Every structure is written in structure tokens, then in C-alpha cells.
């Protein structure tokens, strides 16, 4: 079905102004209710549209089947590839348009297919096989370099030549709403004394975005930068938790381990790249010029407004950072091209995170490490308390949205409460 998606279009289903989920968005997720088993849905306003019901009523053509919708993850759906998934989203869009009555008039189907988000439980949307975390914000990398190395040489020699990354732990990626216990490990707070063991005293969030992949190429083949977009299904908010004191002691020479693998939190809705296309913007001037396999054309950055909130257990929300994904130095196409240039195979449902997203000023930093500058400048909250790092009982909330010509495409939120160490 070939249709043109317009910012002027509206749905016959009422959608509140400034909703994250207008008809132009239609993100995919997995949900269940007290009476419904896990299944695939699309967000529209305050509702979830149960795609298994629409399939039951024969609204979807080949190649989709029951197993693509009556399931607890999006992997089967994504296995059909970009073209099929785009056509599926276009079909849903057409059925929800105010000038289309095909679905609207089927009142029995509508009653069965529309479920309030407030009556639903969102689940992990993707069965993640592998997870890679990049380090692609120049402002963040510079801030960290200034803190821990020579300020005149804040960036390591390789940073401006390639998108730095490490392989993370997929098993501990969790969905928004699931709490995290404070992790334990070795630390060395005093350089003149042996290390100690215990709960981290420097628990931190990392404001990130992540993308989810379609099936890639076989082992040994590379995804060229010009075709990278064809292998990206969509994006979500991502909080890549970090235990700074554990990381400082353990990361030499192989990088972070226990400081990172205890948990990463993701938002439950995957916003498709089709929905984000209109928000693409030019990226920063990259000097020195990247090697040919990393050179790209067109607008590859995306203008996504991001916000981080700390909510103490008995107090109101405090916005501590406002940043934007457009600040990223290395874009998704470059990350995927670099990831596979050695022949590494990408599989359906792999997750690739951006690394901490910091902007050019002090209020746009994407971590407490930067916001409180290694604990030397505590942040004052509205309940009178201060934060150098995240405390037990704190809930960290991240929200994000794009906005252009009165059209808002949102990601919902990723929300996680910190519980004491076990």
C-alpha cells in the first residue's frame, strides 16, 4: 500500500494535543493485560491497537501470520525486513486516518482491538541477541577526558577517527518500570590502600538512545554506510546504568565489566525510522575527514529533545538535564558500518546504543558524573537535598520527543527506581 503520510492528517480516534503517539508515530511494542497474553501492538494516543485482532479480521496481507503478532517480542515481525514492516505500518496508518472508515465502521473489531495503555503492562519489546554500546558524543568524551586525563588532550588519539564501542551484556537489559538493585563490586577509593568490596557509592545514569536492527548480512560480509539505514528498524530511549567507582578500578586494560553489566533500562515503544525521517538534520563537521568506509552523504543526525528527571522517593520530579540526540558526533550509519566492516554479522533484534548523549553546555550533560562534575558540584533538588550520584529510593526518568510543524513524535519514557543492594 503506497500512501503519503502528512503532518496534517488526523485519526478518527481522538488523540490529545502534545501526545507522544499521534497517527504520524505509530511505534511498535509488546503488551499484555489481565485477560490477554503477550502480543504486538501499536501506540495511538492513550490506546494500544492490538495488531493480532486486525490480522484476525484479515486487514494484513502476506507475509504476516499469527506468529508475528501473538508473541512476546517483535523479532518475528522484524524478520520480514524493512519493506514489509514499512508497508504494515502504512496499512495501520491508513486504517486510522480520519477520512478512512474501513476499520472505524467495524465496531466489533474496534472494541476488541483498542486497549487503554493504562490497562496494559508493557513488556520487553525485543528479544535482544547482542548489545553494543558506542561512545559517540564528543562533548561527553571531552568532559570525561578533562576530568580524568590531560585537559589539553581530552580525546584519545583514536576518537576522531572511528566510533569507539564495546560489547555489553544483553541479558541484563530490562524494560521501563523494572527496579534495579544497587550493584556491588570492587572499588579503590584510596590509591594508597588496597581495594574494598561493597555496594557502589557512585551509581550513575547515562542518557542514551538505542536502535534495533533487522537481520544483517552473513558472517564475513559488511554493511556499507550507504545501505545502513535499510538494516535499522527503529529507536528507543536507553539508560545505560554505570557504577563509576567500580568502573574506575576495573576498566584497565579491557574496559568496563561489573560497572555496566548489572542493568540497562529501555523504553517499551520502538519508534520506527519511517516516523523519524522528517526530523533528520545535518551532523557536525567531522575533522579529520573519516576514512572512506565512514564517509556519508545527506542528513544522518536526528533532532530528538531529551530530558532526564530525578524523583526522590518522597518528593516531586526534578529535571536535571536537557540534551539532544542531534549533538552526536558519530551517527547510526557510521556506527553500523564500523561495527560490520570487519565482517561481524548483525542479527535481527540486536541492540546498538549511542553512548552518553551530552550537549555543549553544563545543563545538557547526560550523566551525573558530568552534571555534578565528579561529585565536586552537587545538584540541589527541590526537596532541599543534594545529589552527587543516584541514591537508593531515587527514580530516574528519561523522556524524549521530536517536534516539527506542530507534529510531535514521542518515545514515551524509561523509568527506573533504585533499590538498596541485596
Q: Which residues pair with 141 in a beta bridge?
A: none
Q: Which residues pair with 243 in a beta bridge?
A: 203
Q: Helix (H, G, I), strand (E, B), or coil: what is residue 159?
A: coil
Residue 182 to residue 179: CA distance in whole angstroms: 10
Contacts of 205 (CB under 8 A, 6+ apart): 239, 240, 241, 242, 308, 367, 368, 390, 396, 398
Q: Are 134 and 105 in contact (CB under 8 A)?
A: no
From 6, 80, 11, select the one nearest 40 (Cα to Cα). 80
Q: Which residues pair with 205 in a beta bridge?
A: none
Dihedral sign of CA atoms 398, 378, 255, 355 in order: positive
Contacts of 207 (CB under 8 A, 6+ apart): 239, 306, 308, 321, 323, 356, 357, 358, 366, 367, 398
Residue 132 to residue 114: CA distance in whole angstroms: 35
Residue 241 to residue 265: CA distance in whole angstroms: 8
367-383 CB burial, b ≥16 within 10 A, e <16: bbbbbbbbeeeebebee
Residue 376 to residue 378: CA distance in whole angstroms: 6
- The number of beta carbons lying within 10 Å of the beta carbon of residue 61 is 11
Q: Which residues pair with 302 in a beta bridge?
A: 280
Q: How far is CA 234 from the centre of its chain?
A: 9
Output the DSSP codes for 385-407.
Answer: -EESSPPTT-EEEEEEEEEETTE
Q: Are 365 and 371 in contact (CB under 8 A)?
A: yes
Residue 369 to residue 304: CA distance in whole angstroms: 22
Cell digits for 62?
502476506
Cis peptide before 63 (omega within 30 of 0): yes
Catalytic (active site) residue 167: no
Catalytic hit among 55, 80, 140, 401: 140
Q: Which residues pair with 271 in a beta bridge?
A: 235
Active site positions, annotated: 140
Amino acid at each position: 500500500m503506497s500512501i503519503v503520510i502528512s503532518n496534517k492528517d488526523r485519526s478518527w480516534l481522538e488523540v490529545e494535543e502534545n501526545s507522544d503517539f499521534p497517527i504520524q508515530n505509530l511505534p511498535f511494542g509488546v503488551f499484555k493485560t489481565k485477560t490477554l497474553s503477550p502480543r504486538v501492538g501499536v501506540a495511538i494516543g492513550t490506546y494500544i491497537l492490538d495488531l493480532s485482532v486486525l490480522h484476525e479480521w484479515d486487514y494484513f496481507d502476506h507475509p504476516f501470520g499469527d506468529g508475528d503478532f501473538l508473541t512476546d517480542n517483535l523479532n518475528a515481525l522484524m524478520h520480514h525486513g524493512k519493506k514489509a514492516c514499512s508497508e504494515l505500518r502504512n496499512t495501520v496508518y491508513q486504517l486510522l486516518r480520519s477520512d478512512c472508515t474501513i476499520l472505524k465502521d467495524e465496531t466489533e473489531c474496534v472494541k476488541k482491538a483498542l486497549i487503554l495503555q493504562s490497562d496494559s503492562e508493557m513488556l520487553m519489546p525485543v528479544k535482544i541477541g547482542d548489545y553494543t554500546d558506542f561512545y559517540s558524543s564528543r562533548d561527553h568524551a571531552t568532559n570525561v577526558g578533562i576530568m580524568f586525563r590531560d585537559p589539553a588532550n581530552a580525546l584519545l588519539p583514536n576518537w576522531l577517527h572511528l566510533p569507539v564501542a564495546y560489547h555489553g551484556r544483553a541479558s541484563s537489559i530490562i524494560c521501563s518500570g523494572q527496579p534495579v538493585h544497587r550493584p556491588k563490586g570492587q572499588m579503590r577509593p584510596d590509591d594508597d590502600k588496597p581495594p574494598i568490596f561493597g555496594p557502589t557509592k557512585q551509581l550513575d545514569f547515562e542518557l542514551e538512545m538505542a536502535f534495533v536492527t533487522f537481520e544483517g548480512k552473513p558472517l564475513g560480509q559488511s554493511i556499507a554506510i550507504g545501505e545502513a539505514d535499510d538494516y535499522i528498524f527503529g529507536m528507543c530511549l536507553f539508560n545505560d546504568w554505570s557504577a563509576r567507582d567500580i568502573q574506575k578500578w576495573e576498566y584497565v586494560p579491557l574496559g568496563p565489566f561489573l560497572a555496566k553489566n548489572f542493568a540497562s533500562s529501555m523504553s517499551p515503544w520502538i519508534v520506527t525510522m519511517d516516523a523519524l525521517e522528517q526530523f533528520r538534520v545535518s551532523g557536525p563537521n567531522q575533522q579529520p575527514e573519516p576514512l572512506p568506509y565512514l564517509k556519508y552523504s545527506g542528513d544522518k543526525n536526528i533532532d530528538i529533545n531529551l530530558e532526564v528527571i530525578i524523583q526522590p522517593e518522597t518528593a516531586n520530579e526534578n529535571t536535571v538535564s536537557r540534551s539532544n540526540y542531534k549533538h552526536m558526533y558519530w551517527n547510526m550509519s557510521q556506527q553500523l558500518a564500523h561495527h560490520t566492516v570487519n565482517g561481524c554479522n548483525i542479527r535481527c533484534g540486536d541492540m546498538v546504543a549511542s553512548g552518553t548523549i551530552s550537549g555543549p553546555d553544563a545543563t545538557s550533560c547526560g550523566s551525573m558524573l558530568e552534571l555534578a562534575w565528579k561529585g565536586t558540584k552537587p545538584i540541589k533538588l527541590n526537596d532541599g537535598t543534594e545529589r552527587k550520584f543516584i541514591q537508593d529510593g531515587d527514580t530516574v526518568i528519561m523522556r524524549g520527543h521530536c517536534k516539527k510543524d506542530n507534529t510531535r513524535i514521542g518515545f514515551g519514557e524509561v523509568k527506573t527506581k533504585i533499590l538498596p543492594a541485596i
